[in-house]
Amino acid sequence: MKIITWNVNGLRAVERKGEIQKLVENENPDFLFLQEIKGKKEQFSEFLTENKIYSQFYHSAEKAGYAGTGIWAKKTFLEKCDNINFDTEVPKNPVADEGRISHLSFSIKNKKYHLLSIYFPNGGKSEQAWAEKLIFFDRVLDFMNELRKDGGEVIIGGDMNVAHREIDLARPKANDGRIGFHPEERAWVDQVLKNGWLDVWRSKNFEVENIYSYWDMKTRARDRNVGWRIDYFFADEKILRKVKEIKYISEQMGSDHCPLMIEL
C-alpha cells in the first residue's frame, strides 16, 4: 500500500500547472490524500472527478475557495476491498463546515482500515480561531483513539499546522511561542505520541535536520530551504515494522507544501 499526502493549496491550480498529473504518474500511489482543495466537486474537471484510474472523494468547505480535503483511491485497489465507506465527521468538531476531514474506511479479508486526510486549522485569524484549533486537535486525537479501539489499522495523513520539535523548522528561536510552534500545539503532539501513535517519518529519521514540507512563497523561502515540517503521517506504533519507505518528495512543485509518501 502506497499513500501520499499533499496540501495542494488549490486543487484546480495544481492541475492547471500539470503538477498533480506529474505526481500520480511518477509515484503511482494507491491512495492520495489532499488538503486545501479550495473548491467544490462541481467546479472540478473530469480528470479530478471522473478519473479512469482513481475513485475520488471530496469534502469541500462551505466557504468558497477555502480549505477542504479529499482522498483518491486506486480503483484496482478498491476492487479488493469490502465495506467501503467515505465519511466526513469527527464528533464535536468545532469547524465542521470547513471540510477538514476526509475519512475512507474499508475491509480486506475481514480486517478494517481507516484512512484519514486531515487539514488542521492554522488558528491565527482570531482568538476564537486559536481556541477552535486546540479543540479540533483534542477531538481528532479522541477520534483516532476510538477508531483504533475498533481493532483496525488507522493511518492519518495531512497538514497538521504545527512543528513539533526545534529540529522541525529552520528558525525555531525566532518562532518560539508563535502559532505553528506554540507550546500548546507542541504539547498536543506530545499527547499523540504518549497515546501510542507515531510521527512515522520522524520515527524513521530521528535526528535528521533540514527536511521541511512547507515554505513561505512570498519570501521565496523554498529557494533557501527556510521551512517548516508540518505535514505528517500518524499511525499506531505497531505499524512501524511494516514501513518499507517514507519520504518527503521535496522536488515536487505546484504548491507551498511538498508531498509526503509512505509505502507499507
CATH number for the domain spanning 256: value is 3.60.10.10
192 Cβ contact partners less than 8 Å away, ≥ 6 residues apart: 141, 144, 199, 234
Residue ranges making up the domain that contains 136: 2-263
What is the percentage of the chain residues whose pLDDT exceeds 70?
100
Strand segments (E) across 8-60: 31-35, 54-59
27-46 per-position pLDDT tens digit: 999 999 999 999 999 999 99
Cell numbers at 114, concatenated: 481507516
Average per-residue pLDDT in the chain? 97
110 Cβ contact partners less than 8 Å away, ≥ 6 residues apart: none
Which pLDDT does position 152 carry in this prediction?
A: 87
CA separation (Å) from 13 to 19, 224, 243, 248, 259?
Answer: 9, 24, 32, 21, 16
125-183 per-position pLDDT tens digit: 899 999 999 999 999 999 999 999 988 899 999 999 999 999 999 999 999 999 999 99
Given a contact cutoff of 8 angstroms between Cβ atoms, the answer to whether 14 and 97 are in contact is no
Residue 138 is a catalytic residue: no
Going by pLDDT thresholds of 50, 70 and 90, the confidence category of residue 192 is: very high
74-103 per-position pLDDT tens digit: 999 999 999 999 999 999 999 999 999 999
**Choice among 87, 97, 150, 159 that is catalytic:** 159
Helix, strand, or coil (residue 10):
coil
134 Cβ contact partners less than 8 Å away, ≥ 6 residues apart: 123, 184, 185, 188
The tally of domains found in the chain comes to 1
Q: Could you give the CA distance from residue 19 to residue 77 in angstroms, rounded to a whole number?
A: 23
Helix, strand, or coil (residue 146):
helix
